[in-house]
Amino acid sequence: MTVPTTTIAPLASLPRFTAITKAIEALKPSEPLYLLHPEKFTAAAKQFLEGYPGDVLYAAKSNPHPYALELLWNAGVHHFDTASLGEIEGVKAVLPEAICHFMAPVRLPGQARAALEKHGVTDFVVDSDAELDKLLAEIGDAKKIRIFVRLVASLGGALLEMSSKYGCAPEEAAWLLQRVQASGAQPCLTFHVGSQCLSPFSYAQAIEIANRTVTLAGVAIVALDIGGGFPAAYSGQEPPPYHWYFDMIKEAFANMDAQDVAKMCEPGRALCAPGMSLVTQVVLRRGDRLYLNDGIYGSFDEQRFASFDEDYPPSALTLDAKGKARTPTGELRPFRAFGPTCDSADKLPRPLMLPDGLSGGDYIVFGAMGAYTVSSRSNFNGYYPDNWAVVVA
């Protein structure tokens, strides 16, 4: 699998504006437009680098675009949770000094060895005997690597669960830790409490389960990686402040039996969501139906299975006769929003609350669109959102 080789304009060469409205007035975009907010990437990184008591790995899957990588690197994030050889190579192509960790529990054959030999990656994850066998056979000398055993952490605090596919129960994890130790690799533990986790307590629970697993195994772990899951502040949703998470995590770490353990976390959404907005245009209005220039095969892919935005109120803008951006008139009312492809499935799952005066040619601006948008867009039907500008406050 190769890294796509489209040419990407340098970040510094993108058009820059002082407000979203000014970008829309100047560009009148007829294709979806991604707006980067550099200071929001910096602020999100700062919160984690200052608040989390350990190494912060950016989960590159949430937004592996070179602009996001560059902005987070410049903000001080130098470790990356990567899930495939392609992702490692994508990160390294932009940031040659990046420290990558291969945190997917199932890898394609040969990828672990290539990651180690070509890119010096020494952290790997397993959640089964079979994958551990495969990893050890590929690596040869296990002393070179750390192996993280992934625990199930289905604790109910997250809007998108991450334990039905990967992870094992404490008994199996204890067995795997013993096998890792016997192999000569350094034993470690990890979990993922689920994405958009609105309950800081879930982390404390999972750390306690990790602590019990260590006792059960009778193996001294060298690192505990508490995964991602930290929420983004989406429109219509008010997640708890991050310091609640960090305080609860620190307290749970302090209650662990073993104190000499490296701590890591892997936020994705929380680091990249706030730093991007998306401007879409209404191609056509038909009654309460809006046909947009972007949909679930583009930037809204995650909407198919995530329930993040009950009553989602994005902002709407219309350009007046003088080309000035104004809010359309009328009461807010629900609209059905469809994407541009021919597929009937290409519709947003929940209605958008927008002013009744909205019409074709108007714009809808979605905030906090940096996570799982760019990373999972496709070019189905020939639509591929890829226009960029920067908004600096």
Ligand X SMILES: Cc1ncc(COP(=O)(O)O)c(C=O)c1O
Residue numbers of the site for ligand X (CB under 6 A)? Answer: 59, 61-62, 81, 103, 192, 195, 227-230, 266-270
Q: Nearer Cβ to ligand X, position 266 or 362?
A: 266
Tell me the residue number closest to ligand X, measured at CB: 228
How far, in whole angstroms, is CA 68 from its chain's centroid?
11
Q: Parallel, antiparallel, or unpaired: how do β-strands 363-366 and 315-319 relate?
A: antiparallel
Asked if 340 and 291 count as a contact pair (C-beta separation under 8 A), the reply is yes
Q: Where are the alpha helices (DSSP H) in 140-261?
A: 170-183, 200-217, 242-254
- Crossing angle, helix 66-74 and helix 38-51, to 10 degrees? 50
Least distance (Å) between residue 256 CB and ligand X:
21
21 or 62: CB nearest ligand X: 62
Least CB distance from residue 219 to ligand X, whole Å?
A: 22
Nearer to ligand X, 20 or 132 (CB): 132
Q: Report the run of H or E that residue 188 belongs to, with start and end.
A: strand 186-191
> Smallest distance, Å, CB 269 to ligand X?
4
By beta-carbon proximity to ligand X, the closer residue of 79 and 336 is 79
Can you tell me which residue has the tokens 């195994």? 217
Q: Which is nearer to ligand X, 77 or 316 (CB)?
A: 77
| Residue partners of 165: CB distance under 8 A and separation at least 6 | none
Within 8 A by CB and 6+ apart from 86, the residues are 1, 2, 3
Angle, vertex CA 385, rays to CA 380 and CA 387, nearest 5: 155
What are 264's strand-pairing partners?
55, 225
Smallest distance, ligand X to C-beta of residue 40, A: 16
Residue number with CB closer to ligand X (235 or 381): 235
CB 225, min distance to ligand X, A: 8
Q: How far is CA 95 from CA 91, 169, 371, in A?
A: 6, 36, 20
| CB-based contact 197:233 (threshold 8 Å) | no
Closer CB to ligand X, residue 234 or residue 363? Answer: 234
Please give the Cα distance from 135 to 124 (Å, whole number): 8
State which residue, 295 or 370, has the beta carbon closest to ligand X: 370
Q: To which residue do tokens 């190494």 refer?
A: 55
How far apart are CB 42 and ligand X at their closest, in Å?
A: 18
